[in-house]
Amino acid sequence: MARKNVPGVLASFLQVDAAVDAITGLKSKGFRDLTVYTAAPNHEIDAALDHPVSWVRMFTLIGGLTGVTAGFAMTIWMSNDWPLLVGGKPIGTPVPYVAIAFELTVLYASLCTVAGVIILSLRKSLKGRPYHPSFSDDRIGIFVPCAPDQAPAVRDLLARAGSEEVTVHAA
């Protein structure tokens, strides 16, 4: 099945302040669902987009709490499930199990963080949105999804902001 394109306007910028002007202008006109491509993260663009804080931290927290619980639960349960007395030491004592619980905290938190990035990134589908290889090199790309009748106004705005190249994409 052919992928359905998202209609809109794609612009390519060399200068960061030009891209920031374009984002600010587009947001003031009510365009919120922008996709901005950069080869490296940039604070000016982040500030212009003004995204809320990523929820990936919740994945890290949940992973860490699961890890510490699993670490203590596994060691205490296994020790009591197969109780063998060695050196007169108590069975199922939590102090030496801190090492294992710590390692599992880090392990689970790390894996959940990566899972969080994947899940959260997939929430906004980029399918059908145009992309150009120069965006992973030295250009900044802005894609504005819009109806065909809005495209000329968007194209003008992007060109005025300093875009090098603007193309209109049909559905």
Partner 1 sequence: MTAIAHEPHRPNQTHAEVTRDVLATLSTPSRGYYMALFTAIFMFLVGLFTFVMLLKEGLGLAGYTPPVMWSVYITTFVFWIGIGHAGTLISAILFLFRSPWRTVVYRSTEAMTVFAVMTAALFPIIHIGRQWIFYWLLPYPNERFLWPNFKSPLLWDVFAITTYFTVSTTFLIVGLIPDVSAIRDKVTGWRHKVYKMFSLGWTGADSQWRHYNKAYIYLAALATPLVLSVHSVVSWDFAMAIIPGWHGTIFAPYFVAGAIYSGIGMVLTLLIPLRKVLKLEHMMTDYHFDNLAKLTLLTGSILFYAYAMEYFVAWYSGNAFEQTTFWRRAFGPMWWAGWSMIICNAFVSQLLWFKKIRTNLTALFIISLFINLGMWFERFVIIASSLSNDYLPGAWQNPVVTWADWGILIGSFGWFFMYFLLFARTFPVVAIQEVKEMIPFPRKHGGGH
In the bound complex, what is the minimum distance in angstroms from residue 66's beta carbon to partner 1? 14
Question: Phi-psi category of 93—alpha, beta or left, where left has phi over 0 and alpha has psi -120 to 50?
Answer: beta
Contact 6, 169 (CB under 8 A): yes
**Which of 4/51 has CB closer to partner 1?**
51
In the bound complex, what is the minimum distance in angstroms from residue 170's beta carbon to partner 1? 20
In the bound complex, what is the minimum distance in angstroms from residue 159's beta carbon to partner 1? 14
**Which of 35/69 has CB closer to partner 1?**
35
Which DSSP string do the residues of 46-77 spell out, in sequence order? Answer: HHHHTPPPPTHHHHHHHHHHHHHHHHHHHHHH
Residues near partner 1 (CB under 8 A) are 14-18, 34-42, 45-46, 49, 51, 53-54, 56-57, 60, 75, 78-79, 81-82, 84, 86, 89, 93, 96-97, 99-100, 102-104, 106-107, 109-111, 113-114, 116-117, 120-121, 124, 126, 129, 131, 133-138, 140, 162
Comparing CA positions, the residue from 12, 44, 33 lying closest to residue 138 is: 12
**Which of 20/151 has CB closer to partner 1?**
20
**Which of 4/124 has CB closer to partner 1?**
124
In the bound complex, what is the minimum distance in angstroms from residue 24's beta carbon to partner 1? 14
Three-point CA angle 2, 146, 135, nearest 5° = 70
CA distance 8 to 14: 20
**Which of 3/149 has CB closer to partner 1?**
3
In the bound complex, what is the minimum distance in angstroms from residue 76's beta carbon to partner 1? 9
